[in-house]
Amino acid sequence: MRSTRSTRSVLLVVGVAFGALALAGCSTQSTASSDSSSAASGSSASSSASPSSSASSSSGGLYGSDDHGGDSGGHGADDGIATASTSLGTVVVDGKGMTAYFYDQDVKGSGKSTCTGGCASAWPAIESDAATPAVSGVTGTVGTITGVDGKLQVTVDGRPIYTYAADTKAGDVTGQGVGGVWYAVNPDGSEHR
């Protein structure tokens, strides 16, 4: 009986420590960036909601692995954004079919991402090589800002969008509601709550 209580105590302490580290990785630290938003709604591209490949990550910690196959940047460059059906309903996805999320700490229209450091490893920015990303099925206003890594980060209705490292295949929505600050992006640019 005593070893069971000790084991539970250790597991509780470890769980609290992981939670604190994970939240620290998603600080509200801001980095200056310029807003280069462009309105690009409607259909204008050859982006597909049915991806031919999916990202791979192994579970490691509260927010999943930050192993992106050697890619230290975000996801979806040149692939545009689209919509896809998930267990949450229809949501915005990157060009690989990975669910797009909003971070509640980002300020709409600020032209800045507040997800840096460990947060950016767990929640990679959806990036584009074009100021006007390819769009399919998204009715919210799509644009870009200069992300924390200097690359163009895609925005929907003036808010930066991200993927989640723990989502391992197209259509995964494991980031929904994480920490009470991460929510899937609806096609109209609202948060899925």
3-class DSSP assignment, residue 13: helix
Q: What is the DSSP string of 140-192?
A: S-EEEEE-TTSSEEEEETTEE-B--TT--STT--TTTTGGGTEEEBPTTS-B-
Judge contact between 152 and 127, C-beta under 8 A: yes
Q: Which amino acid is at 105?
A: Q
Give pTM, 2 decimals: 0.66
Show pLDDT as tens, one digit a residue, over the chain (193 residues): 555 555 455 444 444 444 433 444 444 433 333 343 333 333 333 333 343 333 333 333 334 333 333 333 455 555 789 999 999 999 999 999 999 999 999 999 999 999 999 999 999 999 999 999 999 999 999 999 999 999 999 999 999 999 999 999 999 999 999 999 999 999 999 999 9
Task: Report d(CA 163, CA 173) in Å as an integer.
Answer: 10
* 61 CB neighbour count, 10 Å cutoff: 16
Confidence at residue 186, expressed as pLDDT on a 0 to 100 scale? 99
Confidence at residue 74, expressed as pLDDT on a 0 to 100 scale? 55
| Host domain of residue 76 | 1-193
3-class DSSP assignment, residue 181: coil
Query: Nearest to residue 74, comparing CAs of 54, 103, 49, 94?
Result: 94
Q: What is the distance of C-alpha 176 from the center of its chain?
A: 10
Q: Is the Cα dihedral 149, 176, 77, 156 positive or negative?
A: negative
Confidence at residue 3, expressed as pLDDT on a 0 to 100 scale? 52
In order of 20, 58, 139, the CA distances from 73 in angstroms are: 25, 18, 26
Q: How many domains does the chain have?
A: 1
Left (φ > 0), alpha (ψ -120 to 50) or beta: where does 24 sit?
Answer: alpha
Confidence at residue 30, expressed as pLDDT on a 0 to 100 scale? 36
The two three-digit tokens of residue 119, written as one number:
């947060």
Q: What is the maximum alpha-carbon separation in the chain? A: 64
Q: What is the DSSP string of 44-60?
A: -S---SS-S--------
Q: Who's near 28: CB < 8 A, 6+ residues apart?
A: 105, 114
Reported as a single tens digit per residue, the pLDDT across 105-136 is 999 999 999 999 999 999 999 999 999 999 99
Task: Report d(CA 164, CA 125) in Å as an integer.
Answer: 9
Query: Nearest to residue 157, comparing CAs of 185, 121, 125, 118?
Result: 185
